[in-house]
Copies of this chain bind each other. A is one copy, B any other.
């Protein structure tokens, strides 16, 4: 095993992403020591019990003492308060990063609180599941997934390169881009799809003429994919929409326009338009599979759900 990338890493927040990082760093020897902090005493106890951290601390300020890398893995709306708390306790030469889904808002919230001599390299691993909490992590979460870094004027080339090495060590592919561009790209590939999935699930929930049990029973034909997305952590997603407001509203506006065009084609009975549209979108799916971003197995290779007592 080669030398760790960082001697001491502090994880602030111990949910899905941080717990997966802890497991991946341990498995591959990427960190000498892992310190952790979570707001909830129960989460801290779980983190020790399942061996995510070498030590947990009641406060973020205590957890970052002596750390070479501090990872802010809390909801975007909690970043400013955490940064203000840890600022005075950061080791000179330390690097601060984060895993937030929005980058401009995090930079605005965190950078002002960091002292001279501390670098800041914002990051965002494009990986996750619909589960959350310290027990939801697994060490291969970042395998072959992208991690986007959005360096700022507080990033040095050395600090960025070292953080890149950590992410690559955890199996991720790393790309760098401007924070504003990141926020727009994510509004397209993640934030707006999530809002739409939440909306569709909400519509189904409200309908009087179709019962909830029918929606649940007959969900196999498309809807259940939406419910997976709409089962993601509510706090995290509230913060994403509030802090990436402009890009999300922009993409939502385009989405609504486009939906009205298709809706009109349905109303007018324009089958050719619908067929051409659906043929184009199918090609994009092929691109995603060819790029190694998803499995080509039917239905994601989903394992069939067996009824209780079923054979085979």
Contacts and interface: CB of A to CB of B under 8 A. Distances in A.
Interface stretch (A35-43, A60-68, A210-218): A210-218
Interface string A96-126: 0000010000000000000000000000001
A203 B254 contact: yes
Contact of A281 (B77, B131, B202, B217): B202
- DSSP class of A's interface residues: helix, strand, loop or mixed? helix
Given A220-B126, A237-B278, A278-B198, A295 B305 contact: yes
A234 B285 contact: no
A157 interface: no
A124 B141 CA distance: 37
A299 B199 CA distance: 20
B217 A128 contact: no
Contacts of A274: 234, 237-238, 241-242
B198 A285 contact: no
A57 interface: no
Contacts of A131: 298
A202 to B, nearest CB: 6
A126 to B, nearest CB: 5
Contact of A215 (B189, B191, B198, B229): B189
B238 A284 contact: no
Interface stretch (A46-54, A85-93, A258-266): A258-266
Interface of A: 77, 101, 126-131, 136, 138, 140, 143-146, 148, 175, 184-186, 188-207, 209-210, 212, 214-232, 234-235, 237-239, 241-242, 245, 248-249, 251-252, 254-256, 258-259, 262-263, 266-267, 269, 271, 274-275, 277-282, 284-288, 291-295, 297-308, 310
Given A216-B284, A249-B266, A293-B305, 8 more contacts: A190-B221, A193-B225, A206-B258, A216-B293, A220-B293, A228-B299, A238-B274, A241-B274
